[in-house]
Chains A and B, each alone.
Chain A
């Protein structure tokens, strides 16, 4: 097992004829992912490297039985794309798009929660999800991941790669790696993904990568303390970030004295999590602890 994506996942790529969409659709397909359809309104009938393109997600689902959507639609239209996927019956929606206004995301989040309680949204502004050797549904470089038993959940793309690379180099593989994204309003939280890893038999240890801003890491800590028996490791970025400054990700900002790296690390330590202080040794600390 693994979580969220596997060899049976059938992916439809929304925004497949765009520069990013077509590049990554092909990369995912080459990794071995079943990329069964693409959607670009008005372009039904053409194909992208053999992937058939449809006008609507509904048509794509009807014709290809797609059950997961990967979204590259530009920010002004991305909220619409998420709702279209949900309405077409897609139960896993992964939105890569960066720069969606918060005002657009709030109603979408509540619409999904109310109407499709089983539908999972990952992102927006995230690298996606990967289960090594089975499926890559996102923009991560597939070859740095290795099949194994460490589950990774992270807000940041490059830090996920960094951690996976360190682990793989030490011979430690990953069950799945999930990038939940750096926006203030997003789908699955650290806690949600940790709960999935907790239930997954293949996952023997969990690595959580957080950063300053928000309270997602604190909520995860609370959940871990009372629910998770597997070893959990965490790294939090942003010890040196000054308050009130947005560090790239719209969510990465310390405001009102909340969301500091110190408060997050404290909450995690109290929950029994091994907090890794030096990001150069994420792989080494985990390797030493589990092998």
Chain B
């Protein structure tokens, strides 16, 4: 789960980390109140979206008066901001109004998991402001890495080492690294990224931006953080799917996919592409695939206007094909599906399952295998 910059900063403030004074604002009135509370201009106004590269896209502005604040807020609130990282854009429903920080130099600092060795990795660089992906491609030597021993946590010498390499005061920066690691662990984060961290003109260090992502598997012990989720940043169909325990991700194609199991769901998308089509989504209905789940899946798939045909690819294992077929038939009756549906059913009791589908009176096209199914779905979508 992704958090907004202002939410991340509020959480990090509790650890005594140096964050610029600022307030979130959902409308112009709140923006003005924030300006007043901050005691005057210049101020920085930052659009809050779950996406990077906001500055270049015009989502961040320094304002010097009430009038400038109002004009900029008016121009961006409620609009969709497109950045190079999110070409389709994200809705700006809130702003962060902050005191401007006089910047001497920018740095990069992050904490994440390195999956290749299952260790927590602290990364820092003198090249602040650049995206880490670009940096790792263009100047890999500019990234300093420290691995954290799981039993010890980050050690003071590691934080000192990073300070010396970056040329920052070890007593100031060392504390920041230690506290940030503490926050990463406490929050069950999967990413904490400070880009940039800045050295100010008066010699202080400030976390100018902050991005936190929380491990979804740990949500059960962070109910307070779960409530911070901003669903305006997620596709509405994905939000809807989550309610029914469906794992759905919207894509740009026209073949809706309904599959049991994450690996097979990815494979189904791939085989549609291989056959010359374009998948409209990733959808894993899980191992249970109840009538309720299947009917909700049908509803969600077909409410995407781009979808011109549905390809159902089910491998019946423990859950038998005849039960799955019954589920499909009942669900199709509830939802009244109007577009062509291709079903590839395989596995346990497949003959009974196919027979049920054939006798159901539903106009489902049946496929011999995945390849046949993908080809049929593409043809029917034309």
The answer to whether B273 touches A239 (Cβ under 8 A) is yes
A131–B260 CA distance with the chains assembled, in angstroms: 24
* A89 contacts B by Cβ under 8 Å: no
Q: Count of A-B contacts with CB under 8 A?
A: 161
Chain B residues 258 to 280 lying within 8 A of chain A, measured CB to CB, are 259-267, 269-274, 279
Which of A107, A141, A155, A242 is close to B263, meaning CB atoms less than 8 Å apart? A155
* B16 contacts A by Cβ under 8 Å: no
Whether A159 touches B264, Cβ cut-off 8 Å, given contacts A237-B270, A248-B247, is yes
B249 contacts which chain A residues (CB < 8 A)? 242, 245, 247
The answer to whether A256 touches B262 (Cβ under 8 A) is no
B116 contacts which chain A residues (CB < 8 A)? 214-215, 219
Of the four ranges (under 10, 10 to 19, 20 to 34, 35 or more), the interface on chain A belongs to: 35 or more
Comparing B19-27, B39-47, B215-223, the segment that makes contact with chain A is B215-223
The answer to whether B270 touches A240 (Cβ under 8 A) is yes
A162–B247 CA distance with the chains assembled, in angstroms: 20
Encode A143-163 as 1/0 by CB contact (under 8 A) with B: 110000000001111111110
The answer to whether B151 touches A107 (Cβ under 8 A) is yes
Comparing B67-75, B131-139, B169-177, B351-359, the segment that makes contact with chain A is B131-139
The answer to whether A209 touches B133 (Cβ under 8 A) is no
Chain B residues 214 to 262 lying within 8 A of chain A, measured CB to CB, are 215-218, 220-221, 247, 249, 251, 259-262
A135–B290 CA distance with the chains assembled, in angstroms: 29
A245 contacts which chain B residues (CB < 8 A)? 249, 282
B271 contacts which chain A residues (CB < 8 A)? 278-280
B338 contacts which chain A residues (CB < 8 A)? none
A263–B264 CA distance with the chains assembled, in angstroms: 20
Whether A141 touches B261, Cβ cut-off 8 Å, given contacts A211-B266, A240-B273, A252-B266, is no
Whether A209 touches B317, Cβ cut-off 8 Å, given contacts A165-B346, A184-B115, is no
B346 contacts which chain A residues (CB < 8 A)? 162, 165
Comparing A9-17, A63-71, A94-102, A267-275, the segment that makes contact with chain B is A94-102
Top 5 A-B pairs, shortest CB-CB distance: A156-B263, A248-B262, A158-B261, A101-B218, A280-B371
A-B contact pairs, 28 of them (CB 8 A): A101-B215, A102-B188, A103-B188, A103-B215, A103-B218, A105-B118, A110-B151, A139-B318, A140-B317, A141-B348, A156-B262, A158-B264, A158-B315, A159-B263, A160-B263, A161-B317, A185-B115, A214-B116, A238-B270, A245-B249, A246-B216, A247-B249, A248-B247, A250-B215, A256-B136, A257-B137, A261-B270, A280-B372
